[in-house]
Amino acid sequence: MTRALILGGTGHANRLAELFARTRIDAIYSYAGRTRIPLPHALPTRIGGFGGPEGLADFIIAERITHVIDATHPFAAEMSRNAVTACAATDTPLIALERAPWAAVAGDNWIEAADEPAAAAALPEAPARVFLAIGRQHLAAFAAKPQHAYTLRFVDAPDGPLPLPNAEVIVSRGPFTREDDRELMRARGVQWLVSRNAGGDGARAKIDAARELGLPVIMIARPALPERRRVERAEDVLAWLGHDARLGA
């Protein structure tokens, strides 16, 4: 009897949860608890870390989990690595629901960066106006370039001082629209966009808006992840579980 654990926290994971609820597959949805009011779900939901790979292995055993679906964000590397370790240790089938990275198209002006420090190094020396749309957990690297006027976007309002002296915070959860992101950058005279290659639709609006405005984009590459089975569509997860998205459970 299937009893799945969805490691969630993304738009993809939300759509998978709706599909599971509709096809009545027994599943638990898991959030890290990064945001104050995460989106509610039709599935039973747990919030908070497991306590490393061992904690996740204990949870799998205690909750009699038969399958794990890693539907976290491509930059949630530690969670993904822990899932590979815990599923190997408990011999639990694991699949990743992972969207393909964005690829530059005609008109894009991307500067690829390996990580946040490389992205900060790619910014100019002369003061500029920068839209730093990478959340709030990885801002420290940009303290190396305090001369810029930064626009930041967070899911929740900051609960403390920021490492950047000249920064405006926009509190918004997304998904975002191309029109809104274009107006956000135009109204502020943004000259540079810094983004992570999240893939998917929920955050690509700013990339399309930057192309329309002819702005350079510093695109941070995804962290390397261990090998694991991966699909890009929620329906393929159901097929892997031996359920058909069109029929009942």
Interface ranges with ligand 3Y8 (CB under 6 A): 9-12, 14, 31-35, 38-39, 73, 133-138, 153-156, 173-176, 196, 198, 200, 202-203, 206
Please check whether residue 21 is in contact with residue 42, taking contact to mean a CB–CB distance below 8 angstroms. Answer: yes
Give the amino acid at 44. Answer: P
Partner in contact with 136, chosen from ligand 3Y8, ligand NAP, none, beta carbon below 5 to 8 Å by kind = ligand 3Y8
Residue 186 CA to residue 210 CA, distance in Å, equals 9
For the bound state, the minimum distance from the C-beta of residue 102 to ligand NAP, rounded and expressed in Å, comes to: 14
Partner in contact with 173, chosen from ligand 3Y8, ligand NAP, none, beta carbon below 5 to 8 Å by kind = ligand 3Y8
Partner in contact with 49, chosen from ligand NAP, ligand 3Y8, none, beta carbon below 5 to 8 Å by kind = ligand NAP
Partner in contact with 154, chosen from ligand 3Y8, ligand NAP, none, beta carbon below 5 to 8 Å by kind = ligand 3Y8
CB-count burial class (<10 Å; 0-12, 13-18, 19+) for 125 = exposed
- Nearest to ligand 3Y8 of 38, 53 (CB atom): 38
- Nearest to ligand 3Y8 of 35, 66 (CB atom): 35
For the bound state, the minimum distance from the C-beta of residue 247 to ligand 3Y8, rounded and expressed in Å, comes to: 26
DSSP secondary structure letters along 6-27? EE--SHHHHHHHHHHHHTT--E
Partner in contact with 39, chosen from ligand NAP, ligand 3Y8, none, beta carbon below 5 to 8 Å by kind = ligand 3Y8
Within 10 angstroms of residue 63's Cβ, the number of other Cβ atoms is 12
- Nearest to ligand NAP of 98, 208 (CB atom): 98
Residue 9 CA to residue 21 CA, distance in Å, equals 17
For the bound state, the minimum distance from the C-beta of residue 220 to ligand NAP, rounded and expressed in Å, comes to: 10
Token pair of 90, please? Answer: 């408990």
Token pair of 184, please? Answer: 């956000």
For the bound state, the minimum distance from the C-beta of residue 18 to ligand NAP, rounded and expressed in Å, comes to: 16
Partner in contact with 41, chosen from ligand NAP, ligand 3Y8, none, beta carbon below 5 to 8 Å by kind = none
If we measure between CA atoms, which residue out of 245, 216, 236 comes closest to residue 124?
A: 216
- Nearest to ligand 3Y8 of 171, 249 (CB atom): 171
- Nearest to ligand NAP of 44, 51 (CB atom): 51
Instruction: List residues binding ligand NAP (CB under 6 A).
Output: 7-10, 30-32, 34, 49-52, 55-56, 72-73, 75-79, 82, 135, 137
Contacts 24+ apart (CB under 8 A), 106-112: 107/211, 108/207, 108/211, 108/217, 109/211, 109/214, 109/215, 109/216, 109/217, 110/216, 110/217, 110/218, 110/219, 111/216, 111/217, 111/218, 111/219, 112/219, 112/221
